[in-house]
Amino acid sequence: MSNPNLPNITPAIQLTRDDVVNLLFSSIAMEGLGLAHIINAEGESIQFALGTLQGASGPPATMQQVLEVNQSAQAMLDTIFRQEMMLDSKLKTASSLPTLRGPTGQPRIRCGQCTSRSFQERRTTTSCSCIFPIRSCSIGAAHAAEAARSIGTDGS
């Protein structure tokens, strides 16, 4: 047995956001095409069992064999239906991706204690984690940790 030929894979992949979205749509389409081929193969197996497949010859199937083919086709179509639902979900998610990127940087949170202050007061103090990163929140480490838990980050 020979070793497989692997392409040269480099970790420096340069993709734009549009490229990624297009790749997502392409992968969904290719998976849908694969499911269509499976459905076609199931149809041909039913045709073969019934003796109606063009170019195929052989002894006629018994009733038990036809029922087994039918049960197999039902199970496969059930699996394909579930996969199609997943593809539909992927398609809806991919099509609703925002096309504009937001600013990068450290996440900012709304701590809940600063919402009663005016915007001017929040701008002039470092005690508000809505304006400043979690690390510079001067309310204290406990407040920063509590605020970080509320958004699911560790605060660093």
Q: Of how many residues is the chain composed?
A: 156
The predicted model scores a pTM of: 0.55
Torsion 15-18-24-25 (CA) sign: negative
CB atoms within 10 A of CB 21: 15
| pLDDT, tens digit (0-9, with 9 covering 90-100), for 18-30 | 888 889 999 999 9
DSSP string, 1-16: -PPP------S-----
What average pLDDT does range 117-129 have in this prediction?
A: 47
Helices (H) and strands (E) in the chain, counts: 4, 0
| pLDDT classification of 137: cutoffs 50, 70, 90 | very low
DSSP string, 35-92: HHHHHHHHHHHHHHHHT-STT---SPPPHHHHHHHHHHHHHHHHHHHHHHHHHHHHHH
CB atoms within 10 A of CB 88: 12
What average pLDDT does range 125-132 have in this prediction?
A: 47
| pLDDT classification of 120: cutoffs 50, 70, 90 | very low
Q: Determine contact, residues 23/17, Cβ cutoff 8 Å.
A: no
